[in-house]
């Protein structure tokens, strides 16, 4: 439910609990509310947690003071009734009163409300939808509500029960996780993280995170790293594949295996290092490709059973393809607009506890920062019917040139930069424009000397575009 710090604070005695909860920063899973909050307003915060990743609200704390229960006893009853009176469908919330000492030193109580992540989208009785984002509860616009609705349809697979028990888990790995978050009991921790159901059954998420051999049940839950010679895959006798590494096991071990395998295969170039000396550095910053891999593993669709995360390494770029589309209405041509999202919130939570991986939007922004700091092209996303492909190119970029180009022309330049021999049709499909519009934009860019068409004739079916700069 809440963080381990919150769980430990709630276990404190009456003379310590208030100060312990005030010392914890509000975040995605923990919120403090004044004893003066109205039932209708409280309902909005319950909705926000249920629509996100669940969490804990403690009522009776405000401005550094332990207020305790309200002076009006009826208010307490109205709070407990808030899910029924002001949310639809009613948010399942658990209420309990814990004894405390208020700021005056008198015996008092705090109201603790626990909310699970819901498989449905909840709204208030005015039709407004809220979502917990970081330490805020935000009202969503209609497009965001539709996006959330899509996401909810996909977010249940990790919570599905599996025919497995605790003996199927990697016990040392589970113990390491419990130690990392300073929790005394790994079994109880799985329940607290929603990875074990009340009846004791494990979930898909538990098996993927801590199973001894999760690929026995989910063969696609792995990362495959392919290193090619040159800048093309080739085929048949022209196959350019140098090495093929398959990383299996529970998710933390898969990520570690992928990190080591990719690091050993990334081509290098001579450049000024962080120590102020020239030497070999990877063609793409490690922080960028590692964030891409971690995002792919955490946020992929595990319900797509037959596919895996694929990392392809070329002499000039790294491509990472992940099963499952971007969430809801997200525009892949504008990845920086992706907001906080976790298709697999329980998996994401554990990975955050282990200090690798961020929410999808945050991870994307970090990749952009790392690539721009290195003077390289922005990360480029393509979306197919069933997957998302990320390209991290080693191509240096002229930021001034990109800044003066219209948005669609800039997208075309980035696509040509990041692809091998793209045709006019490839460009139109990827950018989401009609072929006549693509032809007009391409001609303008060619007239400016930014790109050129490579082909034997005007009707050459194998013609492609490339940058001239």
Spatial separation of the C-alpha atoms in residues 157 and 1, rounded to whole Å: 19
Tokens 């490339």 belong to residue: 466
Which of 167, 160, 139, 141 shows the shortest CA–CA distance to 45? 139
User: Residue 84: pLDDT above 90?
Assistant: yes
Tokens 């295969």 belong to residue: 265
Tokens 């804990």 belong to residue: 56
Helix (H, G, I), strand (E, B) or coil at 169: strand
- The angle at the Cα of 333, spanning 402 to 241, to the nearest 5 degrees, equals 90
pTM of the predicted model as reported, rounded to 2 decimal places: 0.65
User: Residue 329: pLDDT above 50?
Assistant: no
What CA dihedral angle connects 390, 396, 397 and 399, to 10 degrees?
120
Strand residue runs (E) in 167-316:
223-228, 241-247, 268-272, 278-282, 309-313
Query: Confidence class of residue 55 from pLDDT cuts 50, 70 and 90?
Result: very high
Spatial separation of the C-alpha atoms in residues 49 and 130, rounded to whole Å: 8
Which domains are delineated in the chain? 4-140 (3.30.950.30), 141-396 (3.30.565.60), 398-469 (1.10.10.10)
pLDDT at position 155: 46
pLDDT, one tens digit per residue, over 91-124 is 999 999 999 999 999 999 999 999 998 888 999 9
Spatial separation of the C-alpha atoms in residues 46 and 84, rounded to whole Å: 11
pLDDT at position 247: 97
pLDDT, one tens digit per residue, over 170-192 is 999 999 999 998 988 888 899 98
- Which residues does 328 contact at the CB level (< 8 Å), separation at least 6? 146, 147, 148, 149, 150, 151
Spatial separation of the C-alpha atoms in residues 348 and 95, rounded to whole Å: 26
Which helix (H) or strand (E) segment holds residue 179: the answer is helix 171-180
């Amino acid at each position: 439910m809440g963080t381990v710090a919150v769980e430990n604070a709630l276990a404190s005695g009456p003379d310590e609990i208030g100060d312990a909860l005030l010392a914890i920063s509000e975040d995605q899973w923990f919120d403090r509310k004044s004893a003066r909050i109205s039932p209708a307003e409280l309902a909005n915060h319950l909705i926000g947690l249920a629509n996100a990743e669940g969490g804990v609200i403690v009522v009776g704390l405000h401005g550094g003071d332990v207020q305790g229960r309200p002076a009006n006893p009826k208010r307490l009853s109205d709070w407990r009734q808030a899910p029924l009176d002001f949310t639809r469908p009613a948010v399942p919330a658990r209420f309990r009163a814990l004894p405390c000492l208020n700021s005056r030193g008198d015996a008092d109580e705090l109201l603790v409300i626990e909310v699970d992540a819901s498989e449905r989208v909840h709204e208030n009785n005015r039709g407004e939808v809220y979502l917990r984002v970081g330490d805020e509860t935000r009202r969503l616009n209609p497009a965001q509500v539709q996006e959330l609705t899509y996401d909810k349809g996909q977010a249940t697979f990790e919570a599905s029960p599996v025919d497995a028990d605790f003996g199927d888990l990697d016990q040392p790995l589970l113990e390491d996780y419990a130690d990392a978050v300073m929790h005394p009991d790994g079994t109880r921790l799985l329940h607290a993280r929603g990875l074990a159901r009340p009846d004791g059954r494990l979930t898909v998420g538990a098996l993927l995170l801590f199973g001894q051999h999760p690929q026995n049940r989910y063969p696609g839950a792995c990362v495959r790293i392919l290193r090619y010679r040159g800048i093309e895959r080739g085929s048949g006798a022209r196959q350019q594949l140098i090495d093929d590494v398959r990383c299996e096991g529970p998710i933390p071990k898969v990520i570690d295996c992928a990190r080591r395998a990719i690091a050993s295969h990334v081509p290098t170039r001579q450049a000024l290092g962080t120590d102020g000396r020239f030497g070999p550095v990877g063609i793409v910053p490690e922080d960028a490709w590692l964030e891409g891999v971690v995002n792919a593993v955490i946020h992929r669709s595990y319900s797509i059973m037959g596919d895996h995360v694929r990392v392809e390494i070329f002499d000039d770029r790294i491509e990472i393809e992940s099963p499952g589309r971007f969430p809801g209405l997200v525009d892949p041509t504008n990845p920086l607009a992706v907001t906080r999202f976790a298709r697999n919130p329980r998996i994401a939570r554990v990975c955050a506890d282990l200090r690798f991986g961020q929410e999808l939007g945050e991870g994307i922004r970090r990749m952009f920062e790392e690539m721009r700091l290195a003077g390289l092209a922005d990360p480029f996303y393509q979306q197919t019917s069933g997957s998302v492909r990320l390209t991290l190119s080693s191509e240096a970029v002229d930021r001034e040139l990109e800044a003066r180009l219209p948005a669609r022309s800039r997208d075309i330049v980035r696509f040509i930069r990041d692809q091998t021999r793209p045709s006019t049709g490839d460009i139109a499909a990827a950018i989401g424009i009609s072929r006549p519009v693509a032809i007009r934009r391409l001609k303008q860019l060619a007239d400016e000397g930014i790109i050129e068409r490579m082909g034997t004739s005007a009707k050459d079916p194998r013609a492609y575009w490339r940058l001239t700069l």
